[in-house]
């Protein structure tokens, strides 16, 4: 990452090459990292990414940079499928534990930071919850609507990805190839009213037959924000329209981060971030990804219960390159 000249090089997913890090403002770094969806415990696969981001921050600070590190807490809007299908994960968690979504969010947010502390992960400069920024998201969607990037169908307000000529550039695929790949790999049925498979929901309407625990009034109807809009809005609110670094896991590349870029550049005409960094998965055996959806998770508390110091796991993560899969046995 660094060299004897004090230069720092990073692999930029956006350009698909290693680049010299040059901050927008001399001596300062503005960095946004996608935080947890707080409907359950974060597992050690999640924490591998947060350890990589913590190491990046420490290297930057060691080299004299002042780092403003922002992390979101997703406490609404993240559906069980990243591709805008399924139930809200927060509602699923509330049903599982027979609590309110607000209780679930508070409990698992607290547990996340307790586990992060056990792994010696620095607390972000700013931690921002999605539900504290609903008005900001509504205003942002309204501006996208004014610029002609949105349309309304039966279940919500959508972003028209065909309006951006370079949509999908983070993946290395163009708009047509991305839509074809989604069609070929579809495991769920897409809303047939969407103009393009890659279009995504900015504001989802509440069901007409029941009241959700988390829903808000908006110019388009009662509902809740999509997952992608929260990170764009909060990143820009706390770091500005154009900042230095955006981090996350490699699973964020094809949908979440691609859509963050689309929303931001549609409104501002500027790059959201100069450098996009992504960490690879922690896997079992032959590349079986650790995932809550598959029920294959090990938490920090699991390690403690088995007699391991959490810092031993941190050390394990540091023995492998962050862009290479790390096998956990």
For the chain, domain boundaries: 9-328
**What architecture (CATH level 2) is domain 9-328?**
3-Layer(aba) Sandwich (3.40)
Q: Which of 124, 7, 126, 127 is nearest to 54 (CA)?
A: 124
In whole angstroms, what is the distance from residue 274 CA to residue 11 CA?
Answer: 11
Collapsing DSSP states into helix, strand and coil, what is residue 121? coil
Q: Which of 43, 32, 49, 37 is nearest to 109 (CA)?
A: 37
Tens-binned pLDDT, residue by residue, of the chain (329 aa): 655 567 999 999 999 999 999 999 999 999 999 999 999 999 999 999 999 999 999 999 999 999 999 999 999 877 766 556 667 888 888 889 999 999 999 999 999 999 999 999 999 999 999 999 999 999 999 999 999 999 999 999 999 999 998 999 999 987 788 777 766 655 455 788 999 999 999 999 998 888 888 999 999 999 999 999 999 999 999 999 999 999 999 999 999 999 999 999 999 999 999 999 999 999 987 667 766 665 668 999 999 999 999 999 999 999 999 999 999 98
In whole angstroms, what is the distance from residue 132 CA to residue 237 CA?
Answer: 12
- For the question of whether the overall pTM of this predicted structure is more than 0.85, the answer is yes
Alpha carbon 300 to chain centroid, angstroms? 21
């Amino acid at each position: 990452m660094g060299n004897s000249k004090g230069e720092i090089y990073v692999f930029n997913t956006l350009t698909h090459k290693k680049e010299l890090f040059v901050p927008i403002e001399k001596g300062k770094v503005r960095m946004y990292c996608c935080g947890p969806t707080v409907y359950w415990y974060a597992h050690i696969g999640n924490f591998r990414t947060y350890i990589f981001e913590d190491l990046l921050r420490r290297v930057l600070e060691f080299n004299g940079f002042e780092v403003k590190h922002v992390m979101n807490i997703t406490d609404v809007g993240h559906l069980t499928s990243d591709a805008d299908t399924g139930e809200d994960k927060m509602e699923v968690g509330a049903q599982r534990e027979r609590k309110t979504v607000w209780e679930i969010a508070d409990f698992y947010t607290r547990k996340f930071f307790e586990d992060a502390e056990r792994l010696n992960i620095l607390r972000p400069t700013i931690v921002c919850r999605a539900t504290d920024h609903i008005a900001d998201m509504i205003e942002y969607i309204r501006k996208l609507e004014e610029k002609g990037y949105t349309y309304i169908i039966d279940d919500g307000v959508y972003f028209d990805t065909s309006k951006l000529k370079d949509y999908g550039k983070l993946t290395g695929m163009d708009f047509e190839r991305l839509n074809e790949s989604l069609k070929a790999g579809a495991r769920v049925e897409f809303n047939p009213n969407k103009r393009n498979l890659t279009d995504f929901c900015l504001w989802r309407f509440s069901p007409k037959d029941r009241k959700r625990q988390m829903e808000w009034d908006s110019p388009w109807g009662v509902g809740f924000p999509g997952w992608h809009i929260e990170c764009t809005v909060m990143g820009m609110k706390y770091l500005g329209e154009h900042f230095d670094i955006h981090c996350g896991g490699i699973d964020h590349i094809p949908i979440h981060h691609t859509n963050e870029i689309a929303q931001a550049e549609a409104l501002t005409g500027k790059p959201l971030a100069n450098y996009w960094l992504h960490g690879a998965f922690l896997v079992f055996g032959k590349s079986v990804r650790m995932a809550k959806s598959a029920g294959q998770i090990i938490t920090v508390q699991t390690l403690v219960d088995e007699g391991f110091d959490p810092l031993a796991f941190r050390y394990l993560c540091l023995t492998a390159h962050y862009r290479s899969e790390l096998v956990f046995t």
